A and B are shown apart, each in its own frame.
Chain A
Amino acid sequence: EAGVAQSPRYKIIEKRQSVAFWCNPISGHATLYWYQQILGQGPKLLIQFQNNGVVDDSQLPKDRFSAERLKGVDSTLKIQPAKLEDSAVYLCASSISGTGPKEQYFGPGTRLTVT
């Protein structure tokens, strides 16, 4: 079974530039998550999708971050414009849907450095 795929693995940009990350979840997983992991901290949920609908985006800085999952499969996360404090690893995870917490499967992450 193929795991969660993410690209790129690394990205370096200057502040005020824009950047996009891509995620392909495990086949059949209806729920998709984007997390931000700042160095030395645990992952923080940015947004959760159920199929192509947003379930929770309460911690997404909507003035600069956006995410979409148009066909209920792949997802993109965009930052525009980037700030220095956006330097982090962005993790994508997926899970099956249903009641109660489900095991989340994580991709390798995209390490973003904003200079």
Chain B
Amino acid sequence: AQSVTQLGSHVSVSEGALVLLRCNYSSSVPPYLFWYVQYPNQGLQLLLKYTSAATLVKGINGFEAEFKKSETSFHLTKPSAHMSDAAEYFCAVSDNDMRFGAGTRLTVKP
């Protein structure tokens, strides 16, 4: 069965620093992978998705993720963190149904 594991339930960075949120997947078929962001008291918003085209995927708000089949990873990065990036981030894998990771809470310190 497909699944994702997000490494680190909490990540704290300083404003302007690199953001790296880790996600590893398990899937018996070529996966479709997603990153969603959830701000307090809001639903999930799609950041980016991988659907077997380019392995480096660019999303909204300056985020990007790289699909690495050899490492079964789909880590999310942003070169320079902004205060407004503070939120909960979810990695998800899907073939017919979507399975979410437990989430990583990103804190950005001034």
Contact = CB atoms under 8 A, between A and B. Distances in A.
Interface of A: 4, 40-45, 48, 56, 91, 93, 100-101, 103-109, 111
Nearest to A10: B41
Contacts of A108: 41-43
B100 A44 contact: yes
B102 to A, nearest CB: 5
Interface residues of B, number: 23
Nearest to A4: B43
A111 B38 CA distance: 14
8 contacts: A4-B43, A42-B102, A44-B100, A45-B97, A48-B97, A101-B94, A105-B46, A109-B41
Contact of B90 (A42, A48, A103, A107): A42
A100 B97 contact: no
| Chain A at the B interface: SS class | loop
A43 B90 contact: yes
A113 to B, nearest CB: 14
Contact of A42 (B51, B94, B96, B103): B103
Most interface-central of A4, A42, A43 (chain B CB within 10 A): A42
Interface in B74-107: 90, 92, 94-98, 100-103
Given A42-B90, A109-B41, 19 more contacts: A40-B103, A41-B103, A42-B92, A42-B102, A43-B90, A44-B100, A48-B97, A91-B43, A93-B43, A100-B32, A101-B32, A101-B94, A103-B46, A104-B44, A105-B46, A106-B44, A106-B45, A108-B42, A109-B42
B102 A40 contact: yes
Nearest to A95: B98
Nearest to B41: A108
B31 to A, nearest CB: 9
A8 B98 CA distance: 25
